[in-house]
Amino acid sequence: MKLKQRVVLLAILLVIFIFTKVFLIDNLDTSAANREDQRAFHRMMTGLRVELAPKLDHTLQSPWEIAAQWVVPREVYPEETPELGAILHAMATKKIIKADVGYKGTQLKALLILEGGQKVVFKPKRYSRDYVVEGEPYAGYDRHNAEVAAFHLDRILGFRRAPLVVGRFVNLRTEIKPVATEQLLSTFLTVGNNTCFYGKCYYCRETEPACADGDTMEGSVTLWLPDVWPLQKHRHPWGRTYREGKLARWEYDESYCDAVKKTSPYDSGPRLLDIIDTAVFDYLIGNADRHHYESFQDDEGASMLILLDNAKSFGNPSLDERSILAPLYQCCIIRVSTWNRLNYLKNGVLKSALKSAMAHDPISPVLSDPHLDAVDQRLLSVLVTVKQCTDQFGMDTVLVEDRMPLSHL
């Protein structure tokens, strides 16, 4: 072969090598860990559709005991959950033996105890599926269907940090009122032919009750975490001030993330990466109201950030509140496993997966098509944000291997 031909051949081989390397990086298929992420994604997709059925094939025949056994410091439920359909079925159908006002908070809810002693939080329907909540991203009432959708998105993203949620229809006259405490019962009223209640909370008003369709009320029920795992509340480092004219430090200080990295529990361990994951999660669902978050107590930063109270989401499909992603674009780090999963979900896969996951919920369809389209669109914005970070700082800096001991300094 002549020298000129050899040079051309070598040049072609070099181009192929570079292209292959870039392609493999872009498709995140360069390590055993990434291949495991891909296998985990396929396992998730295979078990995505959950049919609600009462049958339990488990040595523990109580769905509540199974769900309680699942909870560990870094996940609320495991990757493999063959009993999930039976547990969600129990949440949606078990007899209500007591009903009370919800735990303290700003939004209307009821605390129910189901047969077998399991506590669940009931959030009533306040809006139709196609209602658009205008105004600030955190405006309006809680959206019960958002809790259902957020739980399934948590499954799809592989976080497994959200409590179990399912839709449920309850008859206020026959299921709730006979077992209601006096405190809850005193908030019931009739509006036209509909039974309503307004409960006890910071924003609860007699003039703004939640009303059933006749006696039947649609809502969501969230499984109460086991009492052996007490919660600890934390101020979110990227929380809002909620004061007109007053900005939080992260809103004006470009080096704010550097300061966060020097404070506990964000100076080591998984918590900062949990904050980044949560920013992605909240951006996808349009939740700009996570000013606090919960972890398990006495965890020294090792516990997961638990994805509680996701109902201030899916209010406006046109919402593109980029500030929710501030932890991501200010810190410019993200878990490799999260980045892998997000890439697997692009090109319409996320919308399809979410729709499939929610198909068997009792209140299906859980989300309208504009909201499903919005989730796909927001995913693209997340991918672009990470790409901007890798262009600026390099992939080795931005993509953090979460299977290794973490240090952010």
User: Is the preceding omega at residue 265 within 30 degrees of 0, hence cis?
Assistant: yes
* Rounded Cα–Cα distance for residues 229 and 203 (Å): 28
Q: Binding-site residues for ATP, please?
A: 107, 123, 222-225, 294, 309
289: annotated active-site residue: yes
CB atoms within 10 A of CB 236: 17
Instruction: Report whether 294 contacts 308 (CB < 8 A).
Output: yes
- Determine the Cα–Cα distance for residues 34 and 379; give it in Å rounded to an integer: 20
- Which secondary structure element, helix H or strand E, spans residue 258, and what is its range? helix 256-260
Judging by DSSP bridges, how do beta strands 165-171 and 118-124 pair with one another?
unpaired
What are residue 114's DSSP bridge partners? 96, 118
Pick from 26, 192, 182: which is nearest to 99 by CA?
Answer: 182
Are the C-beta atoms of 106 and 201 separated by less than 8 Å? yes
Rounded distance, CA 163 to CA 154, Å?
9
Tokens of 183: 């405190």
Q: Which of 100, 154, 282, 289 is catalytic?
A: 289
**Cα distance between residue 405 and residue 14, in whole Å:** 36
* DSSP state at residue 115: T
Q: Catalytic residue numbers?
A: 289
